[in-house]
Amino acid sequence: MKKNKINLFIIIFILASFSSCNNYDSASEINLTDNWMFRSVDNQQWNSATVPGTIHIDLMRLGIIDDPFYRLNEHDVQWIDKKDWIYRTSFELTEDVLNKQNSYLEFSGLDTYAKIFLNDTLLANTNNMFRGYNIDVKDFLKLGTNKLEVLLESPIKKGIEKHDQLGYSIPVSGNDLAEIGKVEGNKRVSVFNRKAGYHFGWDWGPRLVTSGIWKHVKLKSWDQFKINDLYIQQEILDETAILNASINFTVDKDIVSKDIRADIIVDGNLVKTSAVKLKSGENNLEVPFEIKDPKLWWPNGMGEQALYNIEVRLSSDNYHATASHRIGLRTIELVREPDSIGTSFYFKVNGHSIFMKGANYIPQDVFLARPKKVNYEYILSSAQEANMNMIRVWGGGIYEKDKFYDLCDEKGLLIWQDFMFACAMYPGNKSYLENVKQEAIENVKRLRNHPSLALWCGNNEVLIAWNNWGWKDGVIKNQSKEIADTIFRSYEDIFHKILPDVVKEYDNTRSYWPSSPGSAFGETQKMESGNAHFWWVWWGKKPFDSYNDSIPRFMAEFGFQSFPEFNSVKKYTLPEDYSIYSDVMKSHQRSSIGNKTIEEYLLRDYNKPKDFENFLYVSQLLQAHGIKIGIEAHRRNRYKCMGSLYWQLNDCWPVASWSGIDYYGKWKALHYNVKDVFSNFLISHEIKNDSLEIYVISDSLIDINAKLQIDLIDFEGNKINSWGKDILANANSASLKMKISSNDYLDHTILERTFLYLTLRDFDNKILADNKIFFKSYKDLNLPEPNIEYSIAEKENHFEIILETEKFAKNVFIVVNSSNNFSDNFFDMIPNSKKRVKIQKEPNLDFKLFKKDFKIITLDQTY
């Protein structure tokens, strides 16, 4: 009855208000992506340009520079960042646009120092690539041709200027001192620019300090009113979701209609209408509304990702304006409560504590306009397929583009979002702080409607560097105590005041965490509280087993490097470069201890590979092996540790790095492997006091009856012993399920030729998880030659490979010249087993070509 009354009211209101006339969209826009030309300031020759884009890409397209990713070409293009560049375009305007009451230019992203001229008048100066700039141009537009110019000043020259003005030195990680492209007097200028830190070189990235109009440019015009921002807040999530739409809009001073209507439309259905009185200038409107029987949004692996499209429509007699967001309904909280260990650090989603499985993400390219929707789709689908539920957007890159977060919403990938600060201290003058504040406000407002966004984090490794890497002591020693205090005051201003205040004011349902790693505000990492980065493996040369003894509350970084596969390496090298110590391979490795460290660890566990191609392959096995030990340790200890994010998901150019997916999109052994190690069910073991302890880990939200089976098998397939047990895989837990005394398996065994095969099956005999335990390191195994038999078949959309083996086959790597990945690769085959894998077809790879380059590598053939 009540509902009918409301509907009637809505209908009468609509009819009464808008029975007669035309209702125009108050806004119009022109995309300014065409006719762009560019030149360097000291050269009169204009050339065609791409917008959005960057200078390096334009120069490359024109053949002025060679691809900086190929061999050593990066070294030859270092002159580009020391010059100023001009971009210009022209566009035609008609009376229609000129008659609009308001017009502004919208620059969504300018990298970084831009002077903007319209019809020869300087209208704006920008200095932050993470902000957008809206420039009022109403009085500067004219009928017919309009000329738009953007002068991009050298970020290096500007950085040096700011560096010299400061009067003291700020500690910065050594990245921008890469031999390549040294900056005048070795001045560390990256921190003075609000520009992606990795552009200045990182320990996995080239030094290519580009500039450009890296996001779109539009001329936008409007009459009467314009919606600036829409924020959908979830007030209560119960049988009914109670929501609130906060609408910020501007009303023109020549206001015609005093009354408008605000409609809320959910998935195309009008759910609320309110009458609104206008005032000229800025207006804020709050409209509460409801969604009945809400469907919840869940992280990947836990349930569906239900999404609702919420549209707000403001209408007067003659005009309307709309804005919309796609939201998901879920609760999320970072739980930090004192407990018997210290203080917890875990995420609770929809009331359930959830173990976070994922990786750190860096931008997909040095040249940011290059990755397209398909690339975002690809990398995030890869994360989803590998059973990840969290991605950390690391602070030396960028606040990603909207499509990144849209895809994370769709795929159930929660986002740990760093603000863009990494491995450096920062200046603290007033204008810098104000710039940071505006950057934070804009990005928080842009991203806060995404259900995937889980946490705001102030910075990457700034606090730990100051306290534990000798930075503070260095400043006190080489400069003064006062300067050290000044530098740390800037730290506190940014990370303990400005950023948390912005999060509190604009996104108060989400937590803010000041620094990763850290144990509390201003306190460096501890294993008992907060989150950790663990680099004793790799940087500290400790064995992979040390992951087992260093369990933090939440692991946000740990990693180990590998090379891309041979087919990828061939894309940026020549045959004369095929040695890991060639100049080209060394240049495509940016960790100071890089290739030697891979080799050192490799020789601990594996036989020396016989050639370059096999070295690349074994390096991937090594990386996968190491990270598996880490992830299993974190998951086994979930009573203490509630997250395992390894360093790093992807690459921004072709390089040896910690990534699991190479620049060309090829999954390394690691990425294939984490798919298993991150799956909802895992069997993992520990050897304690001469007994083997078997853990079953379940991230499922329901208890499951299952069979745990352990078989002692030799490489020829003879079963030597076995143990089995029905168990309950308890929901959302890790528990010890079986103990076997080591005498039971060690006594009757030739350790070099035997392994334990662990399986967890449901009562339909479906494998939920499996794992293997070897008794010797891989180099001491007596691996048989498996002589795998295989067939390749062409299907409608994919090629299918069926493999069969009688003997044990270690790390079967199917090599093809395709940019796609297999359903599985780098896998072990137990004796007398069969495996079916597939790979999607590509337009340029017919069956003949596919078979031509097909081969199989196994570990036993590599030495």
Residues classed as catalytic: 461
Between CA 383 and CA 675 the distance in angstroms is 9
Q: Which stretch binds ligand BMA (CB under 6 A): 111-119, 201-209, 407-415, 430-438?
A: 201-209
Between CA 53 and CA 110 the distance in angstroms is 10
Residues 6+ apart with CB under 8 A from 6: none
Q: Which stretch binds ligand BMA (CB under 6 A): 202-210, 427-435, 503-511, 827-835?
A: 202-210
Q: Which stretch binds ligand BMA (CB under 6 A): 200-208, 595-603, 709-717, 832-840?
A: 200-208
DSSP state, residue 826? S
Closest approach, Cβ 173 to ligand BMA, in A, equals 7
Residue 461 as a binder of ligand BMA (CB under 6 A): the answer is yes
Among residue numbers 369 through 408, which ones bind ligand BMA (CB under 6 A)? none
Among residues 81, 153, 203, 577, the one that binds ligand BMA under rule CB under 6 A: 203
User: Judged by CB, which is closer to ligand BMA: 302, or 423?
Assistant: 423
Closest approach, Cβ 367 to ligand BMA, in A, equals 19
Task: Give 3-state DSSP helix, strand, coil % of the chain, rounded to 5.
Answer: 25, 35, 35
Beta bridge partners of residue 838, listed in sequence order: 800
Among residues 26, 146, 460, 821, the one that binds ligand BMA under rule CB under 6 A: 460
User: Judged by CB, which is closer to ligand BMA: 196, or 217?
Assistant: 196
Closest approach, Cβ 687 to ligand BMA, in A, equals 30
Among residues 130, 133, 204, 421, the one that binds ligand BMA under rule CB under 6 A: 204
Between CA 455 and CA 599 the distance in angstroms is 37
Q: How far from chain centre, in Å, is Cα 723?
A: 42
CB-facing half-sphere around the CA of 757: CA atoms within 13 A: 20
Beta bridge partners of residue 203, listed in sequence order: none
Q: Count the residues of the shown chain that bind ligand BMA, applying the rule CB under 6 A.
A: 10
455 with 531: CB under 8 angstroms? no
Closest approach, Cβ 611 to ligand BMA, in A, equals 28
Between CA 392 and CA 680 the distance in angstroms is 20
Residues 6+ apart with CB under 8 A from 303: 296
Q: Which stretch binds ligand BMA (CB under 6 A): 199-207, 381-389, 520-528, 777-785?
A: 199-207
Between CA 623 and CA 745 the distance in angstroms is 28
Give the type of residue at 532: A
Residue 365 as a binder of ligand BMA (CB under 6 A): the answer is no
Residue 214 as a binder of ligand BMA (CB under 6 A): the answer is no
At residue 805, the 3 state secondary structure works out as: strand
User: Judged by CB, which is closer to ligand BMA: 199, or 450?
Assistant: 199
Closest approach, Cβ 423 to ligand BMA, in A, equals 5
Residue of 319, 212, 203 whose CA lies nearest to 655: 203
Between CA 770 and CA 683 the distance in angstroms is 6
Tokens 């930090």 belong to: 336
Residue of 737, 553, 732 whose CA lies nearest to 644: 553
Between CA 834 and CA 806 the distance in angstroms is 9
What is the length of the chain?
Answer: 863
Residue 202 as a binder of ligand BMA (CB under 6 A): the answer is yes
Between 737 and 776, how does the x/- string for binding to ligand BMA read (CB under 6 A)? ----------------------------------------
User: Judged by CB, which is closer to ligand BMA: 356, or 422?
Assistant: 422
Closest approach, Cβ 94 to ligand BMA, in A, equals 51
Beta bridge partners of residue 684, listed in sequence order: 695
User: Judged by CB, which is closer to ligand BMA: 670, or 859?
Assistant: 670
Closest approach, Cβ 578 to ligand BMA, in A, equals 26
Residue of 159, 211, 167 whose CA lies nearest to 189: 159
Between CA 611 and CA 828 the distance in angstroms is 22
Tokens 């001329």 belong to: 219
Q: Which stretch binds ligand BMA (CB under 6 A): 22-30, 198-206, 826-834, 855-863?
A: 198-206
For 328-403, strand residue ranges (E) read: 332-335, 346-349, 352-354, 356-361, 390-393
User: Judged by CB, which is closer to ligand BMA: 461, or 577?
Assistant: 461
User: Judged by CB, which is closer to ligand BMA: 38, or 204?
Assistant: 204
At residue 522, the 3 state secondary structure works out as: coil
Residue 533 as a binder of ligand BMA (CB under 6 A): the answer is yes
Residue 423 as a binder of ligand BMA (CB under 6 A): the answer is yes
- Bridge pairing between strands 643-646 and 356-361: parallel
Closest approach, Cβ 624 to ligand BMA, in A, equals 18
153 with 125: CB under 8 angstroms? no
Tokens of 589: 């490795």
609 with 617: CB under 8 angstroms? yes
Residue 554 as a binder of ligand BMA (CB under 6 A): the answer is no
Closest approach, Cβ 794 to ligand BMA, in A, equals 42
134 with 115: CB under 8 angstroms? no
Residue 198 as a binder of ligand BMA (CB under 6 A): the answer is no
Between CA 70 and CA 571 the distance in angstroms is 8
Closest approach, Cβ 290 to ligand BMA, in A, equals 43
At residue 15, the 3 state secondary structure works out as: helix
Residue 507 as a binder of ligand BMA (CB under 6 A): the answer is no
Residue 647 as a binder of ligand BMA (CB under 6 A): the answer is yes
Among residues 111, 311, 365, 557, the one that binds ligand BMA under rule CB under 6 A: 557
Residue 191 as a binder of ligand BMA (CB under 6 A): the answer is no
Count of Cβ atoms closer than 10 Å to residue 11 Cβ = 11
User: Judged by CB, which is closer to ligand BMA: 197, or 328?
Assistant: 197
Closest approach, Cβ 648 to ligand BMA, in A, equals 7
Residues in touch with ligand BMA (CB under 6 A):
202-204, 422-423, 460-461, 533, 557, 647
